Amino acid sequence: MPAKVNTGTQDTLYNLFSIIYHALQGAETYEKYITDAEQSGDTELAQFFRDVRDQNTKRAERGKELLTTRLGDEQAQGQSA
């Protein structure tokens, strides 16, 4: 069993940061795929890559909303302690 890495933050927040990061990295990478498909004349594939990019962008935006809420909740808990 792998050892648990202690990041100094809640695992759920770390996971949320990770989702946001990877979604945005993916969206950036898909831009190259879109260009490649367009250059090869494959409009169907280019549209597929756009759809995937857009899904990742939406995923990152949703993650940022959730992160904002959780960080606000965490900050409020720290002030009331």
Q: Which residues are CB-neighbours of 67 under 8 A, at least 6 positions away?
A: 13, 16, 17, 20
Q: What's residue 1's pLDDT?
A: 43
What are the residue ranges in the chain where pLDDT is below 50?
1-2
Q: Does a structural domain hold residue 30?
A: yes
Q: Does a structural domain hold residue 5?
A: no
Q: What's residue 31's pLDDT?
A: 97
**Structural contact between residues 37 and 45, judged by C-beta atoms closer than 8 angstroms:** yes
Q: Does a structural domain hold residue 70?
A: yes
The pTM of this model reads 0.74
Q: Does a structural domain hold residue 3?
A: no
Q: Does a structural domain hold residue 37?
A: yes
Range of the domain at 34: 12-76
Q: Does a structural domain hold residue 33?
A: yes
| Structural domain count, the chain | 1
Q: Does a structural domain hold residue 48?
A: yes
